[in-house]
Amino acid sequence: MNTDPDGGWSLVVPLKPLARAKSRLATATGALLRPRLALAFAQDTVAAALECGRVRDVAVVTDDAVAAVALAALGARIVPDSPGAGLNAALAHGARTVRGSRPGAGVAALNADLPALRPGELARVLDAAGEFPRTFLADAAEIGTTFLSAGPGVELAPAFGGASRRRHLSSGAVEIRLSGVDSVRRDVDTGEDLAAAWALGVGPRTAAHRFHPAG
């Protein structure tokens, strides 16, 4: 449970260098728009997270200089990806960094590609997460994971990538089963995913690109 006396969750958001991010989107968006959309997704995700009343701070783990400037401007803390060993190492590093200054923090990993994220829906997920030492939320396909939490004194132990829902279940994390939190589950890897996010209503930075995916 989240018993941090200072209150609020610290979120850790990992972001690849934009040149390599969201590679599977290129077929739908083209090579030039893909990295711009990847940054817009991250901006809308971080902005919505920071608007959530349950969130105290957001740490973005990235080595991308352009993304670092843009996300810091929104109020995120930028953590260099010093392990340089992939997604799960970056998340573990981010969680350790957060707890270096807030040892009692409840920490949650959140995907950077949730452009339709709603602060109220994220608050409901965080409230549910606070009832257990470690929880996760499956993606819309119920194969991957978009959110993983660890209460104070509990290791995050991320196992993202591919069929991570099964791995997080096997690791003992409690699956959050809530209706009406579609925006927290709607990550974007493909053109079809982007169409689904657009139907939910994407944030302003994603919408500004005026890309209308076929759905």
Cα separation of 171 and 168, whole Å?
5
Is the pLDDT at 1 greater than 80, yes or no? no
Summarize pLDDT for 114-130 with one digit per residue, the tens: 999 999 999 999 999 99
Q: What backbone torsions phi and psi does residue 182 show, to the nearest 5 degrees?
A: -60, -35
Averaged pLDDT of the chain: 94
Report pLDDT for 26: 83
The whole model's pTM is what? 0.94
For residues 41 and 7, the model is more confident at 41
Q: Is 199 left (phi over 0), alpha (psi -120 to 50) or beta?
A: alpha
Q: Confirm if 195 and 30 have CB atoms less than 8 A apart.
A: no
Helix (H) or strand (E) holding 135: strand 134-138
